[in-house]
Amino acid sequence: MELKAEDTLKKAAAASSGALLTSLFVTPLDVAKVRIQSQIQMPPSKTLADLRVTHSSVGTSVATAIEQCRCRSRCACNRSITRPVEKLLSSRRGCNALPGMRMSCSRAVAPPQLQGTSHALRHIFQTEGVRGLFAGLSPAMVIAVPSTVLYYMSYDVLLHEGRQRFPEMEGLVPLMAGTTARIVAASITSPIELIRTRMQGEKPGASILNTFQQAVRRGGYASLLNGLGATLARDVPFSAIYWTSYENLQRKLNTEDLSRTQRAFACGALSGAIAATVTTPFDVVKTLQQVSMTAQGSQPSGMVVLRQVVASKGVGGAFTGLSARLARVAPSCAIMISCYELGKEKLGIE
């Protein structure tokens, strides 16, 4: 299949418009999903309640003590999870941080447990404002255009070529085209995806550059690929299920009662919902891998994370954030594919 330069630009424009519109619509839902999933408790790290301060730690080793005991829970006596504990150590007040005594965080206030998409959205808006709902939007925009253009145009080319060369494998062509296109797109945009997930998992304020520098400082450049395995484990089967379902539904709904755009919207929403449900456990693993890097930059494998989730929360824990994921994926798939098809139709290309 030879793509003329003009047709290539038109398809890129159609995909780009859909990607930008989708990013604006789904970012608050994506933030809610990440916050809900990141509540899952992984192996604990040292907090104020775990650290016994000695004379030496208040003296020459105070920097080490500070580094170890940044309170990761919201501490009423500190009033900020991001504030270092220098004041606690120097004032000998606050969290009862006296030499030789266990530092206790008895007044620590745990963040509220987010119970669902609507609760998460309300809580984020009330505590962080509109800015919190759109955390990670800038890297999402950076990801959206190149990733979507590459993904959709690759799928179009591979689907056409597959149908031409292997007509006897009609049913498998969408599956193979979708998975191949997704592997390429996900691998290229993985570092930006990690930055976006980190920004969505934290309170707003950090820039793309600061988040990038922190990731590299803690885990090296290789850490930018953290979660890629889980991303591929999620996105490759997602694409296989999505495109196979989409093409089958397109044939069944090929009626004059629906326009090309309406048919694409309906098929995209239903196919996206099916694929999202099946692949949610991999999405949970990806989120936990990207949000919860240790201070040494090391991370357990995807299967280890999944086993830990199931062990602590049961099988249902692997589907944490499913409602938020469905609320995000189904409409985003519908908007993206219908915008793409509408754009191609208006620009006079197939």
Based on the domain organization, do 199 and 92 belong to the same domain? no
> Could you report the per-residue pLDDT of 233-249, keeping only the tens digit for each?
878 999 999 999 999 99
Dihedral (Cα; 277, 309, 316, 203), 10-degree rounding: -70
Cβ contact 244:237 at 8 Å: no
Radius of gyration of the chain (CA): 23
Based on the domain organization, do 129 and 88 belong to the same domain? no
Based on the domain organization, do 268 and 307 belong to the same domain? yes
Task: Give 334's contacts (C-beta < 8 A, 6+ positions apart).
Answer: 264, 265, 266, 268, 269, 272
What is the reported pLDDT for 105? 43
Task: Give 223's contacts (C-beta < 8 A, 6+ positions apart).
Answer: 194, 215, 216, 293, 297
Paired residues of 75 in beta bridges: 108
Cβ contact 94:77 at 8 Å: yes
> Could you report the per-residue pLDDT of 94-150, keeping only the tens digit for each?
444 444 444 444 444 556 778 778 888 888 899 988 888 888 787 777 777 888 888
What is the reported pLDDT for 44? 52
Of 64, 89, 112, the last residue of a domain is 112
How many domains are there within the chain?
2
Please tell me what DSSP assigns to residue 134.
T
Residue 271's pLDDT band, with cuts at 50, 70 and 90, is very high
Based on the domain organization, do 328 and 215 belong to the same domain? yes
Q: What is the mean pLDDT of residues 84-97?
A: 43
Residue entry with tokens 């191609």 = 344
Cβ contact 308:43 at 8 Å: yes
C-alpha distances in Å from residue 50, one per residue of 72, 263, 291 = 12, 57, 22
Based on the domain organization, do 72 and 200 belong to the same domain? no
Of 94, 112, 130, the last residue of a domain is 112
pTM of the predicted model as reported, rounded to 2 decimal places = 0.65
Based on the domain organization, do 24 and 70 belong to the same domain? no
Based on the domain organization, do 211 and 91 belong to the same domain? no
Based on the domain organization, do 168 and 231 belong to the same domain? yes
Based on the domain organization, do 241 and 288 belong to the same domain? yes
Give the residue numbers spanning the domain of 71: 46-112
Of the ranges 32-46, 77-91, 215-229, the best mean pLDDT one: 215-229
Based on the domain organization, do 108 and 233 belong to the same domain? no
The CATH number of the domain holding residue 313 is: 1.50.40.10
Q: Which of 100-104, 150-154, 186-190, 205-209 has the lowest mean pLDDT?
A: 100-104
Of 112, 133, 160, the last residue of a domain is 112
Task: Look at 68 and 212; give whichever has higher pLDDT.
Answer: 212
Based on the domain organization, do 64 and 191 belong to the same domain? no
> Could you report the per-residue pLDDT of 280-330, keeping only the tens digit for each?
998 888 888 777 654 445 667 778 888 988 998 899 988 988 988 898 899
Based on the domain organization, do 60 and 131 belong to the same domain? no
